[in-house]
Amino acid sequence: MKNIIISSVVVALLVFSGCSSKDVAVDTDKSEPTNTSEVQEVKAVETETVAAEDSTVNSGTQTLSHMSMSDIESELSTVYFDFDKFNITSNAQVKITKAAELGKTGAASYNVKLEGNCDEWGSDEYNFALGLKRANAVKKALVAEGIEGSRISMVSYGESNPVCEDKTKDCYAKNRRVDFKLLP
């Protein structure tokens, strides 16, 4: 066994380069090791690939605070939904009508983002789509009340943005909701 063949396989990585954009930035922390992970296999014909990543991308948002806007926003009541449903209940319709009134008066200069959310039962795409359908139902109701569709954008956060994390029916019900967020 004297003829030892060393075949090496290199994986990994990484050069750190700084880059900056509006919402993401590459971590330029020099304390992170920049070495290359290398796996070598002795007495092996084929090559091994074992690797590790040593660098990190930072991603964050810039938050803007507009007090007057948040004051108006607090007037917009969250709309809640039944389990596995995205239809607007009569109770929700009252809130939407009030929101539409505000959209034509105090909040007339703002656009609105509707954030659809679900309870914790599932992180799959279907749950995200359910959150979106809820946001879309609210959008349609707002448009029916006379708000221009072009002022409304939507996003679904699925189960990833809970306001309550207890394992109770009240808590699940609080998470099945659409929130109004005003945009400048």
Q: Which 105-144 residues touch other proteins, going by CB under 8 A? A: 113, 121-130, 132-133, 135-136, 139
Encoded tokens for 34: 């920049």
Does position 47 interact with other proteins (CB under 8 A)? The reply is no
- DSSP letter for each residue of 70-93: HHHHTTSPPEE--TT--PPPHHHH
Question: Among 55, 78, 93, 97, which residue interacts with other proteins (rule: CB under 8 A)?
Answer: 55
Q: Which is nearer to other proteins, 157 or 180 (CB)?
A: 157
Does position 54 interact with other proteins (CB under 8 A)? The reply is yes
Does position 21 interact with other proteins (CB under 8 A)? The reply is yes
Does position 89 interact with other proteins (CB under 8 A)? The reply is no
Instruction: Tell me how far, at minimum, the Cβ of 93 lies from other proteins, in Å.
Output: 18
Does position 166 interact with other proteins (CB under 8 A)? The reply is no
Encoded tokens for 14: 């990484």
Separation CA 24–CA 77 (nearest Å): 32
**Number of chain residues interacting with other proteins (CB under 8 A):** 73
Does position 60 interact with other proteins (CB under 8 A)? The reply is yes
Separation CA 56–CA 50 (nearest Å): 19
Instruction: Tell me how far, at minimum, the Cβ of 74 lies from other proteins, in Å.
Output: 18
Residue 112 near residue 103, CB atoms below 8 Å = yes
Question: Among 34, 59, 70, 89, which residue interacts with other proteins (rule: CB under 8 A)?
Answer: 59
Distances (CA, A) of 2 to 5, 47, 62, 99, 131: 9, 20, 61, 81, 64
